[in-house]
């Protein structure tokens, strides 16, 4: 079957932005492969997700609702999905290329003897019906083209690789049983601790990112970065120096040993632009830096750079953007 499946990434039925991008990608891949875009929902809250799934063009949904997916995350999901993929052999499955999506894809690949393409920044179907994927390597200096030998193809697509586009379709639903063996129950989720700021996207999903570095001088000054980020609807990132100093959590670190991001816009505030930082952000579409040192290496890779004191520039910029938003 040439259907293209999407494993929906969601929080109790609230779909992440990446899910909408994956649905959009599945639509064009399915058209190329000669099948239909199919959404796979595991967890709780399907009623909440349903409308958006149809709006972004899935013609079918495989729905498995169970609390076990939260309790035994992700082993329950791995077993359930591996079983249906093995049985129905779609063209392929798209996963969000974050830590969670890649873990699920890797485990399903090992269970079914399938290969996995991770970190795709573009995906299409070649003349032979195989996937053609591009991913950035060596800190974004090189683009590698890859394919897989045998279907179903497991592909992890990075956030913002495609822009989400609506294309309403009528959605057929099918219930799929949750498959949770004793082995899948070995690892349990005992507690979830969320530090999410309402409305602020996680750094590796954000279309716009404002990152802060050692130039902020004090953890309290991250408030400047956050205020600018909130004005832009952006996620907040950090350099390793800021993370090492304990100013911001590692989940927000951008770079070789943090997240690799390709947002539409990346604003580096008080970050010098060391090679290990660049490795995580130089594929951003537009790069802006605010740094008081004109010789700072970050300026070698900007589209727009401000040489100046961030304590002066950033609050004024936030205010200026607010003013223009209200004026426009």
Partner 1 sequence: MPLNIAVCVKRVPDTAADKNLDPTDFTLRREPDESILNPVDEVAVEEALRLKEAHGGEVTVVTVGPEAALTKAARRALSMGCDKVVHLSDPVLHGSDAQAIAYALACVLRRGSYDLIVCGSESTDARTSLVPPALAEYLNLPGLFHARTVEVEGDRVRVQREADQGYDVIEGPLPAVVGINWGANEPRYPSFKGIQGAKNKPVESLTAADVGIESTRVGLAGSQSQVLGFAARSAERRRILVDNKDGNAHVKLADFLQEAKLI
Ligand X SMILES: Cc1cc2nc3c(=O)[nH]c(=O)nc-3n(C[C@H](O)[C@H](O)[C@H](O)COP(=O)(O)OP(=O)(O)OC[C@H]3O[C@@H](n4cnc5c(N)ncnc54)[C@H](O)[C@@H]3O)c2cc1C
Residues that bind ligand X (CB under 6 A): 213-215, 239-242, 253-258, 270-272, 274, 276-277, 280, 290-293, 296, 309-311
Partner in contact with 232, chosen from partner 1, ligand X, none, beta carbon below 5 to 8 Å by kind: partner 1
CB 35 within 8 A of CB 27: no
Partner in contact with 96, chosen from ligand X, partner 1, none, beta carbon below 5 to 8 Å by kind: none
Partner in contact with 39, chosen from ligand X, partner 1, none, beta carbon below 5 to 8 Å by kind: none
For the CB of residue 273, give the shortest distance to ligand X in the complex, in Å. 7
Q: Which is nearer to partner 1, 37 or 101 (CB)?
A: 101
Sign of CA dihedral 4, 7, 10, 13: positive
Dist. CA 317–CA 146, nearest whole Å: 42
Q: Which is nearer to partner 1, 227 or 265 (CB)?
A: 265
End-to-end CA distance of the chain: 49
For the CB of residue 119, give the shortest distance to ligand X in the complex, in Å. 16
Dist. CA 285–CA 297, nearest whole Å: 18
For the CB of residue 1, give the shortest distance to partner 1 in the complex, in Å. 19
| Residue 328, burial from CB neighbour count under 10 angstroms (0-12, 13-18, 19+) | exposed
Partner in contact with 64, chosen from partner 1, ligand X, none, beta carbon below 5 to 8 Å by kind: none
Output the CA torsion 273→233→58→102 (10° steps): 30
Dist. CA 55–CA 273, nearest whole Å: 41
Q: Which is nearer to ligand X, 50 or 259 (CB)?
A: 259
Cβ-closest residue to ligand X? 255
Q: Which is nearer to ligand X, 4 or 317 (CB)?
A: 317
For the CB of residue 60, give the shortest distance to partner 1 in the complex, in Å. 27
Partner in contact with 204, chosen from ligand X, partner 1, none, beta carbon below 5 to 8 Å by kind: partner 1
Whether the upstream peptide bond of residue 27 has omega within 30° of 0, thus cis, is no
């Amino acid at each position: 079957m040439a259907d293209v499946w999407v494993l929906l990434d969601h929080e109790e039925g609230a779909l992440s932005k990446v899910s909408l991008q994956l649905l959009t990608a599945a639509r064009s891949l399915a058209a190329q492969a000669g099948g239909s875009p199919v959404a796979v929902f595991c967890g709780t809250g399907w009623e909440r997700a349903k409308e958006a799934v149809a709006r972004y063009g899935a013609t079918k949904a495989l729905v498995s609702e169970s609390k076990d997916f939260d309790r035994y995350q992700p082993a329950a999901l791995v077993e359930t999905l591996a079983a249906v993929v093995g049985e129905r052999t779609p063209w392929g499955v798209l996963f969000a290329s974050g830590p969670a999506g890649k873990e699920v894809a890797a485990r399903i690949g090992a269970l079914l003897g399938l290969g996995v393409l991770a970190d795709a920044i573009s995906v299409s179907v070649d003349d032979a019906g195989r996937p053609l994927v591009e991913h950035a390597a060596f800190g974004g200096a090189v683009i590698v083209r890859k394919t897989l030998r045998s279907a179903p193809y497991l592909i992890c697509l990075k956030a913002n690789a495609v822009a989400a586009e609506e294309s309403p379709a009528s959605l057929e639903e099918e219930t799929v049983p949750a498959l949770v063996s004793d082995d899948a129950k070995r690892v349990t989720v005992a507690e979830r601790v969320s530090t999410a700021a309402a409305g602020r996207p996680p750094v590796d999903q954000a279309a716009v990112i404002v990152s802060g570095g050692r130039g902020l001088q004090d953890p309290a000054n991250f408030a400047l970065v956050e205020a600018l980020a909130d004005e832009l609807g952006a996620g907040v990132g950090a350099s390793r120096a800021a993370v090492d100093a304990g100013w911001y959590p590692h989940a927000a670190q951008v770079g070789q040993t943090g997240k690799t991001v390709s947002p539409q816009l990346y604003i580096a505030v008080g970050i010098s632009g060391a090679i290990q930082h660049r490795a995580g952000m130089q594929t951003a579409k537009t790069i802006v830096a605010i740094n008081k040192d004109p010789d700072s290496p970050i300026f070698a890779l900007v589209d727009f750079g401000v040489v100046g004191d961030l304590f002066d520039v950033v609050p004024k910029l936030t205010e200026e953007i607010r003013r223009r938003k209200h004026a426009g």
